[in-house]
């Protein structure tokens, strides 16, 4: 039988060994569920309150989802009106009269009060029937359900390729209007 004089030191030794074992496991594997620390280059700007990853925005009209936007990163400013987006995918749902529309961009801004989305950097708009638009920036206005840009645009659909400066695209009717420097060509098979 163990003498009572040795029980307390033995218990203290076991507790210390358990603490050291847990510390070694945590240091080796990293703490589960811990938030990554921001490095000096990743600190949030002073006007940003919240930064999110994989955020979703959507517009619902008459109980139906009109569009859904997914951004890999979202930064909200302190005023609460503008969200700064990165790596964006925006999808307009298929309707009875028109096919789905998908838009991707590197970055953008979403204004909740104006219900508009300003997209920038490698903007690509594609429709379900194969039409494709590429530009550097475009603005979606929710009130009119239209995309517009003053930048150069490249349009392709089947054998038609068109370049222009400036464009409006109605999401509901999927009709595009090009403004200036329009040059179109048809590729023959």
How far apart are the C-alpha atoms of 80 and 165, rounded to whole Å? 34
Q: What is the pLDDT of residues 22-72, one digit of tens each?
A: 766 666 665 444 444 444 445 545 555 566 788 888 888 888 888 888 999
Region 91-114: mean pLDDT is 85
pLDDT band (50, 70, 90) for residue 165: very high
- Report whether pLDDT(108) > 90: yes
Q: What is the pLDDT of residues 121-147, one digit of tens each?
A: 999 999 888 889 999 999 999 889 899
Give the contacts of 54 (CB within 8 A, at least 6 positions apart): 70, 71, 72
Sheet-wide strand order for 176-186: 48-61, 64-77, 82-92, 101-111, 116-127, 132-141, 146-157, 160-170, 176-186
pTM over 0.75: no
Mean pLDDT for the chain overall = 80
């Amino acid at each position: 039988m163990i003498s009572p004089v040795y029980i307390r030191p033995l218990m203290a030794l076991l507790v210390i060994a358990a603490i050291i074992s847990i510390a070694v496991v945590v240091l080796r594997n990293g703490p589960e569920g811990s938030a990554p620390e921001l490095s000096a280059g990743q600190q949030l700007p002073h006007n940003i309150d919240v930064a999110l990853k994989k955020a979703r925005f959507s517009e619902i009209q008459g109980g139906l989802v009109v569009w859904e936007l997914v951004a890999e990163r979202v930064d909200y400013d302190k005023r609460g009106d503008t969200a700064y987006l990165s790596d964006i995918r925006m999808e307009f749902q298929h309707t009875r009269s028109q096919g789905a529309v998908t838009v991707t961009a590197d970055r953008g801004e979403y204004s909740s009060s104006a219900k508009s989305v300003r997209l920038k950097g490698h903007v690509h708009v594609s429709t379900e029937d194969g039409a494709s638009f590429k530009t550097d920036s475009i603005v979606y206005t929710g009130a009119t359900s239209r995309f517009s840009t003053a930048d150069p645009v490249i349009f392709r659909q089947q054998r038609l390729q068109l370049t222009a400066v400036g464009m409006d695209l109605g999401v509901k009717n999927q009709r595009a209007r090009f403004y200036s420097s329009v040059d179109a060509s048809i590729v023959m098979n």
